[in-house]
Structure 1
Amino acid sequence: MSDFLDDEPYEFSLQEVEGERVVLRPLGEADVQPLFELIDESREFLSEHLPWPEECSLPEDVCARIESWNMQAQMANGACWGIFEKVSKKITGCIMLGWVQWKNRSATVSYWLGQKFCGRGLATEALILASSEAFAMGLNRLELTSSVRNLKSAAVARRAGFQEEGLCREYERIHGHFEDHLRFSLLAKDFC
């Protein structure tokens, strides 16, 4: 566990993280077009459970998101890694830390994969790697939510060791209707 004052953020040092099948890497300008293409080819699939795909209708929109994520990392209040398949080196999705609260040493986690990369354990491995990095940075608690209809995302959280904490009623508004979400958490002391 890092030794720092409760209200001082630990220095974010986003680096490449290598796993067995995936590599997590901070995103840059060279990733804009491949990431846009991944979103575009999975747009309908992603839109089923996520509110933002329609906001990424042009490569410029993706570029603005990457710049925003990088600014959050510089301010030590968020982070985003691209999830790259180790063998092919193709971008498969993203995993983000958000709402970093250094005083409480907590943050949220969110993740997504393009449709053709689902069902292969890549999201689970990415979530475990990102959790390890977050705990190494000094965080103590990670939490995530998943739509009650998104059984596959909830399964990813459980496989990565997150524990279900309860139901968040009408947590998110997606395409004009409110979705209930399940809340999950993982503590540093529970992480293997």
Structure 2
Amino acid sequence: MIFGRFLSQPAPAMTTDRLYLRSPDAGDFEAWAALRAVSREHLQPWEPSWADDALTRDGFRRRLIWFDRLRRTDTGAAFFIFARQNNALLGGITLSNLRRGAAQCGEFGYWIGKPYAGQGHMSEAITMMVAWCFAELKLHRLEAATLPENQPSQRLLLRAGFKPEGLMREYLKIDGVWRDHRLYARLVTD
């Protein structure tokens, strides 16, 4: 099974002309903490509430444990997004809630640091991830959810070939409040 072989080891690095994606590791802590700190106001309206120790080494270690659990349990893969020019950490993208069997489906979550927002990096990363998920993981369907007022994220998904599918009521607890989300999906046949 292709997917089982993939998850028995760290996810492969992927590259484009401007970017590379690779699995996060402990050596990324300082760059990650600095980028998340400078981007806090930019990210908080779209994310679950941050723990008090969210930007500490322990907080990062918990995140790495969750990423490793995704891989070990065959339920997803996490990547950090870096600029090839200077190796700067730009953001992250995660494939989670991977369902095999009849579904062959997974969900994307993503974030981009404030200094890099609106520059096309996330569009490039999502395009790369979509191709990898369909070609290497043999998925049939990819999903992503966004808050109804998050127009930049919706435009990003539309550019990446995702189609709107409807409203999911109180889907995720974002910044401490259960919030509706718009569901977008892309099929391998799209």
Which TM-score applies when normalising by structure 2? Answer: 0.90
In structure 2, what is the equivalent of residue 42 of structure 1?
39
Question: 2:155: which partner in 1?
Answer: 155
Equivalent position of 1:63 in the other structure: 61
Name the CA shift for 1:134/1:52 in 2 (closer, same or farther; >3 Å). farther
The 1-side partners of 2:81 and 2:51 are apart by 21
**CA offsets per residue over residues 22-72 of structure 1, 9 Å max, x none?**
111111111122111111111111101111444613122012201220231
Instruction: Letter of the 2:181 partner, please give it.
Output: H
Q: CA deviation at 1:9?
A: 4.9
Matched, 1:21 2:7: no
Q: Give structure 1 regions of 4+ aligned residues with deviation exceeding 6 angstroms.
A: none
1:90-141 Cα deviation digits (max 9, x unpaired): 1111000000111111111110001111000001111111111111211111
Q: Is the 8 A contact 1:162 1:186 kept in 2?
A: yes
- How has the CA–CA distance of structure 1 residues 161 and 27 changed in structure 2, closer, same or farther, with 3 Å as cutoff? same
Tell me, in whole angstroms, the C-alpha distance in 2 between the residues paired with 1:71 and 1:169: 28
Q: What residue number does 1:83 align with?
A: 81
Alignment of 1:90-101 (within 5 A): 90-101=88-99
Q: Structure 1: 5+ residue runs without aligned partners?
A: none
Unaligned stretches of 5+ residues in structure 2: none
Give the Cα separation in 2 of the matches to 1:168 and 1:178. 11
Q: TM-score, normalised by structure 1?
A: 0.89
Provide the rounded CA distance (Å) in 2 between the counterparts of 1:102 and 1:9. Answer: 9
Give the % identical residues. 27
Give me the CA root mean square deviation.
Answer: 1.7
Cα distance change, pair 18–117 in 1 and its aligned pair in 2 (3 A): same
1:131 is matched with: 130
Partner of 1:72 in structure 2?
A: 70
Match 1:30 to one of 27, 30, 35: 27
Alpha-carbon shift at residue 74 of structure 1 (Å): 2.5
Q: Aligned residues, how many?
A: 184
1:12 aligns with 2:10: no
